Structure 1
Amino acid sequence: MPIYIYWGEDDFAIEKAVTALRDRILDPSWTTFNYTAFPPEQSDATIAGLNQAMTPPFGAGGRLVWLVNSTLCQHCPENVLSELTRTLPIIPEESFLLLTSRTKPDERLKSTKLLKKFAVEFREFPLIPPWKTELLLQSVQQAAQFVGVKLTPGAAQMLAEAVGNDTRLLYNELEKILLYADGNNKPQDTDTVAQLVRNTSQNSLQLAAAIKTGDTAKALAILADLINACEPSLRIVATLIGQFRTWLWVKIMMESGEKNPQAIAQAAEVSNPKRIYFLQQEVKYLSVEQLIACLPLLLELEVSLKQGATEILTLQTKVIELCQVCQGK
C-alpha cells in the first residue's frame, strides 16, 4: 500500500498537496465511498484508519485514508505499533494512506522507520525564513507560474516583500491579480501590485532597516503598520533576529579581511553570493560591537513575548532600545 507522509509549518502548501493527491487517486464519481479523513480528536483514529484502508475501493479509482495531524511519528503506543506492523504489508495496493503533521517525524521511533519503509513520499513543507529574500522571490515566481500570472521583476519583488512566507496570502493575492488582468498576457507591474496587494507598504525587513539606521520614529511607524496589519509578533522578531545575525556575520567576515563573496555568503548562510555586496553596504556604518549588542535585546524580546508580556508595549520598548544601540548610544 502506498503511504504518503507530509509534515511542516506551511499548512496551505500541505493543503494543496493533499488536494492534488486526492484528485489523482480518487474517481470523482466514487469519492463519497473511497475517501475518509480521520481527525486527531478521534481516540481510535489510527486503528480505524488502518481498518478502513484494508477495505478495497468501490467502483473506479483508488481509496484514500487520511490521518489528519497524526502523532504516529512522534509517539506510538505499543498496541498501535503492533497493528501497524501487522497491517501495512497486507493492505490492498489500490488503498493509499496519508499522514500529515506540523511536527517533524522522529526518525528514531520504530513507527517512523516502519512507515518510512512503505512510504512513496516522505516530504517536508517548511515555511521559508522571512529573511531569506531570494527564496521568497523564487516562491513568488513559482506560484505566479502555477496560477498563470505574469509579473515584472519589480512586481515580483514587491509581492515577495508584501506577503513574506505566508503561502496562503501569496496565492490569494495572485488570484486577485489574475482576476484584475482579465486575460491580459502583459506582465503586471509594481503599480498593479501596489493597488491590489495589502500590506505592501511595510514589512519586518523594512523594520530591521529602520532600526539599523537608528531612525526611531520611522521604526515605530513601521512597527505600528505591522501590528495594524495583524502581523504576528513572534514572526516579526524571528525576521529581526535572522536579519541581524546575517548582518553580524557579514560584518565579522569583512573585518577579518575576507573579500571572497562566496566565502562570506557561506559563513552568513546567504544562498546568493551576489547579495553580499549589498549586505556589505547595509552594515557599512555599523560596528561589530553594535550588532552583537542587538542580539541579546532581540532574544530578550522573544522570551518576553513567549512568556506573555504585553505585546505592543514590549515591542515598542525593545525597538527604541535597538535604535539607540545602532545610534551608538
Structure 2
Amino acid sequence: MPIYVYWGEDDFAIEQAIASLRDRILDPLWISFNYTAFPPEQADAVICGLNQVMTPTFGAGGRLVWLSNTTICQHCPEDVLTEMARTLPSIPDNSFLLLTIHNKPDERLKSTKLLKQFATEFREFPLIPPWKTELLIQAVNQAAQARGMKLTPKAAEMLAEAVGNNTRLLDNELEKLQLYIADNHQSLNEDTIIRLVRNTTQNSLQLAAAIRIGDAAKALTILNDLMNASEPGLRIVATLIGQFRTWLLVKIIMESGERNPQAIAKATEVGNPKRIYFLQQEVKLLSVQQLISCLPLLLELEVSLKQGSTEISALQTKVIELCQVCRAS
C-alpha cells in the first residue's frame, strides 16, 4: 500500500520531499504517462485520483498520483470516504498515491484514520517557531552539512538570524555561499555572512524592539525597509507574535517571584537560559497588561492579512497602535 501523506507549513521542505519521491518512482521517459497531479480546485479530484492510482502503469517505472493540498483530512464527503475504504487497501505495489495537506489533519475523521492505517509514510513538515533560535541554528548547521559545508558557530548564528524559519531562503543562501567558497577557497565565517547574506528576520526582531519602546518613527522605518526587501507580511507578524509571547511569559513569571533562569527558560520554551537575563531587561519597563494588550492587536493583524487586506496599510496601522500601547505608562 504505497501511500504517502505530507502535511505542514514548510512548503519548501514538502516540495523537496515530493521531488525526491518523483525521482525515485518515475522513469524519466515515461513521466507524461505515469504522473498525474490533481489540484484542490477540481471538484472530483479525490475520486479521480483514486481511480487513476488503480490504473496499470505504462512502460518502465511506477505510477505516481498526487492529490495536491487536498482537504479530505478536514472534511470528507461520505461517497469519497466509501471510495477511499475500497481503494486504499488495493493499490498496486508499483502505483503510489501522494497527498499533501497544508493544515493539521483532523484525527477524529474517518478519512484521517484510514490514511494513517494504510499510509507507508504519514509525515509532518513543520516550520520552526521564529523565536526558537537554538533550533534554527541547528537547522542551519544540518542544511550546511548536507551540502558538505562547515560554518563557524557565529556564522551559523548569524545565518539563522538572517533567514529565520524560511527553509527556501536558507537553501538559496547556502547555494550562493557554496559557490562563493568554491571560487574563493575560503571558510564560512561571520565576515562572509555579513557581506553576502541579506538580513531580514533580525530586522523583524528590531521592529519588535522598536515597538517595545514605543518608538513609532523607528518602527515604521524598519517596517518600510522590510517591505522594500519583499519580506512577507505574515512572516513579520509571526516573528512579532513569537517575540511578544516570549516577553509576556517572562514578565508573568518574573512577577510571580521566580528568579531561577533555568526555571524561567523551561517555562517560556527559551532554549538558552543565558538569554533570560536580556529578556528580563527588555520587559522591565513594560507591564503585564501592556504585553497582554499587544497580542490581540497582532492576532487581528494576522487575520486581516490572511483575509486579503493591503499589507503595508494594515501593518503600518497596527504598528502605530502597538507603539501607543507600549508607550503608555
TM-score normalised by structure 1 residue count? 0.88
Q: Deviations over 1:254-306 (max 9, x none)?
A: 22221233321232232444432332233344343443343344345445555
Partner of residue 275, structure 1: 275
Checking the alignment, whether the CA contact within 8 Å between 2:130 and 2:164 is kept in structure 1 is yes
Could you tell me which amino acid in structure 2 is paired with residue 13 of structure 1? A
Distance (whole Å) between structure 1 residues aligned to residue 325 and residue 82 of structure 2: 59
* Worse-matched range after superposition: 269-278 or 157-166: 269-278
1:127-166 Cα distance to aligned partner (Å, 9 max, x none): 2222222222222222212233322222222222222222
Q: Give the match for residue 7 of structure 1.
A: 7
Q: Secondary structure at the match of 2:253?
A: helix
Residues 187-231 of structure 1 show CA distances to partners (whole Å, capped at 9, x for unaligned) of 312222222223459521111122223444332221111111122
Amino acid across the alignment from 1:167: T
Which residue is equivalent to 2:26? 26
**Match for residue 246 of structure 2?**
246
Q: Distance in 2 between matches of 1:296 and 1:42?
A: 36
- Tell me if the contact between 1:202 and 1:222 (Cα under 8 Å) persists in the aligned partners: no
Give 1:98's aligned residue: 98
- Which sections of structure 2, spanning at least 5 residues, go unmatched? none
**Residue 160 in structure 1 maps to residue 160 in structure 2:** yes
Question: Aligned partners of 1:310 and 1:32: how far apart in 2?
Answer: 40
Which whole-Å deviations, capped at 9, do the CAs of 1:55-89 have from their partners, x for residues lacking one? 34445543322111222222222222222211222
When structure 1 is superposed on structure 2, of 119-128 and 58-67 the one drifting more is 58-67
- Alpha-carbon distance, 1:307 to partner: 6.2
Correspondence 1:66 to 2:66: yes
Structure 1 vs Structure 2 CA RMSD: 2.7
| CA positional deviation for 1:118 | 0.4
Unaligned runs of 5+ in 1: none
Identify if the C-alpha distance between structure 1 residues 91 and 273 changes in structure 2 by more than 3 Å, giving closer, same or farther.
same
Alignment partner, residue 145 of structure 1:
145
Match of 1:233 in 2: 233
Bigger CA drift: 135-144 or 25-34? 25-34
Q: Which stretch of the first structure deviates more once superposed, 39-48 or 121-130?
A: 39-48
CA distances 1:76-133 after superposition (whole Å, capped 9, x unpaired): 2222222221122222222221101212212211111111100121111122222222
Report the CA distance shift for 1:32/1:255 in structure 2 as closer, same or farther (over 3 A): same
Moved more, 317-326 or 156-165: 317-326
Identity of matched residues, %: 77
* CA distance in 2: counterparts of 1:60 and 1:299, whole angstroms: 51
Match of 1:133 in 2: 133
Q: Distance in 1 between matches of 2:192 and 2:100?
A: 37
Moved more, 29-38 or 167-176: 29-38
Deviates more, 1:303-312 or 1:244-253: 303-312
Residue 193 of structure 2 aligns with which residue?
Answer: 193
Quote the residue 1:116 is aligned against. 116
Deviation of residue 248 (structure 1)?
A: 1.5
State the partner residue of 2:217. Answer: 217
Report the secondary structure of 1:131's partner residue: coil
Q: How many residues align?
A: 329
Distance 1:45 1:313 in 2: 38
